[in-house]
């Protein structure tokens, strides 16, 4: 509640800490409880009652009980390569975000204690994003970005520098970063929803569960990033001097970073 009191007026959309905490459920439990993912599946399930059992008795026989009976065709090499790059760049991006906020907090907290709840809240969400993609990187055996040490240093530097200019400049930095990240996540969501429909052994088509999980994760994170963007604007990011240079400069840096983290 303290967080709300310290918000500038008119900030009715700021998320209360209690609500925020609900969002920070560990990755696996959010998704394996699977309310959202099942609602996607239920339509398909209803139309394909039993045929899989009669059509493919052989492919079923060796399965263990915890394995789904209907299987997908294999992902193509291009699809695997896309997921590989997506997880690598998202991991690097969330690492960057995590370190940017850490850098900002390091500078701002002493002089501007009223920003603490806002920054802490956003930072905690970034830590959760970062941990989630770290887990996905190991689970799916994706190599991390080779530039990781550079992202760490760069992100801290960006956080510290903008915060050293002024709290508004720090908010302008957040605004710029979240604009690029929000757009980047939307682009990924577009590809993941459109390009990952695979044939299934029961004759239908669908997006594999692990991809749907990833889509849901990215959706959740995208929404939180856009919330950070709102928070930054409400905290006077537009009053930063020099606003144009900071935001455009950082947007440029972020786009280059996204491009190289996908590849290197």
Interface residues with other proteins (CB under 8 A) are 59, 66-68, 71-75, 77, 80-81, 83-84, 87, 91, 95, 134, 137-144, 146, 148-149, 201, 208-210, 260, 263-264
168 appears as a binding residue in the annotation:
no
Rounded distance between C-alpha atoms, residue 238 and residue 234, angstroms: 9
| Smallest gap from residue 129 Cβ to Fe ion (A) | 4
Provide the terminal-to-terminal Cα distance of the chain, rounded to the nearest Å: 43
The site map against Fe ion for 208-247 (x = CB under 5 A) is: -----------------x--x-------------------
Whether the bond into 242 is cis, omega within 30 of 0: yes
| Smallest gap from residue 80 Cβ to other proteins (A) | 4
- Find which of Fe ion, other proteins, none residue 126 binds, CB within 5 to 8 Å per kind: Fe ion
DSSP character string of 45-96: HHH-SSHHHHH-HHHHHT--TTS-SS-BPPPPHHHHHHHHHHHHHHHHHHHH
Residue that has been written with the tokens 């905490």 in this structure: 21
Are 260 and 93 spatial neighbours (Cβ–Cβ below 8 Å)?
A: no
Rank residues 2 and 77 by Cβ distance to other proteins and give the closer one. Answer: 77
List residues bridging with 206 in a β-sheet.
198
* Structure-token pair, residue 97: 């975000």
Give the CA count within 13 Å in the CB-facing half-sphere of 173: 25
- Find which of other proteins, Fe ion, none residue 17 binds, CB within 5 to 8 Å per kind: none
126 appears as a binding residue in the annotation:
yes
- Residue with the closest Cβ to Fe ion? 129
Length of the chain measured in residues: 264
| Smallest gap from residue 195 Cβ to other proteins (A) | 14
121 appears as a binding residue in the annotation:
no
Rank residues 2 and 29 by Cβ distance to other proteins and give the closer one. Answer: 29
Phi, psi (rounded to 5 degrees) for 65: -65, -30
Nearest to 206 by CA among 194, 216, 197, 195: 197
| Smallest gap from residue 249 Cβ to Fe ion (A) | 18
Rounded distance between C-alpha atoms, residue 144 and residue 138, angstroms: 9
Rank residues 202 and 225 by Cβ distance to Fe ion and give the closer one. Answer: 225
Rounded distance between C-alpha atoms, residue 153 and residue 101, angstroms: 13
| Smallest gap from residue 241 Cβ to other proteins (A) | 34
- Find which of Fe ion, other proteins, none residue 197 binds, CB within 5 to 8 Å per kind: none
Rank residues 90 and 175 by Cβ distance to other proteins and give the closer one. Answer: 90
What is the torsional sign of CA 157, 160, 166, 170?
Answer: positive
| Smallest gap from residue 169 Cβ to other proteins (A) | 29
Rank residues 120 and 260 by Cβ distance to other proteins and give the closer one. Answer: 260
Known binding-site positions for Fe cation: 94, 126, 129, 178, 225, 228
Binding site for Fe ion (CB under 5 A): 94, 97, 126, 129, 225, 228
């Amino acid at each position: 509640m303290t967080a709300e009191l310290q918000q500038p007026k008119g900030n009715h959309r700021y998320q209360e800490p209690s609500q925020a905490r609900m969002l920070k459920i560990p990755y696996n439990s959010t998704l394996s409880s699977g309310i959202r993912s099942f609602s996607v599946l239920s339509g398909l399930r209803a139309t394909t009652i039993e045929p899989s059992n009669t059509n493919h008795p052989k492919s079923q026989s060796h399965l263990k009980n915890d394995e789904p009976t209907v299987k997908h065709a294999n992902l193509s090499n291009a699809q695997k390569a896309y997921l590989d790059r997506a997880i690598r760049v998202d991991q690097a991006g969330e690492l960057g975000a995590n370190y940017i906020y850490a850098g900002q907090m390091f500078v701002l907290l002493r002089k501007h204690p009223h920003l603490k709840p806002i920054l802490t809240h956003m930072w905690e969400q970034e830590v959760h994003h970062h941990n989630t993609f770290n887990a996905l990187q190991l689970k799916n055996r994706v190599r991390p970005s080779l530039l990781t040490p550079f992202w760490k240093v760069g992100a801290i530097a960006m956080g510290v520098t903008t915060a050293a200019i002024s709290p508004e400049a720090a908010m302008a930095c957040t605004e710029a970063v979240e604009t690029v990240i929000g757009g980047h996540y939307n682009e990924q969501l577009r590809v993941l929803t459109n390009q990952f429909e695979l044939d299934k052994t029961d004759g239908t088509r669908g997006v594999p569960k692990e991809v749907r999980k990833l889509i849901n994760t990215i959706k959740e994170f995208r929404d939180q990033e856009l919330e950070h963007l709102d928070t930054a604007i409400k905290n006077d990011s537009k009053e930063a001097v020099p606003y144009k240079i900071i935001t455009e400069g950082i947007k440029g840096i972020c786009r280059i970073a996204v491009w190289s983290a996908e590849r290197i």
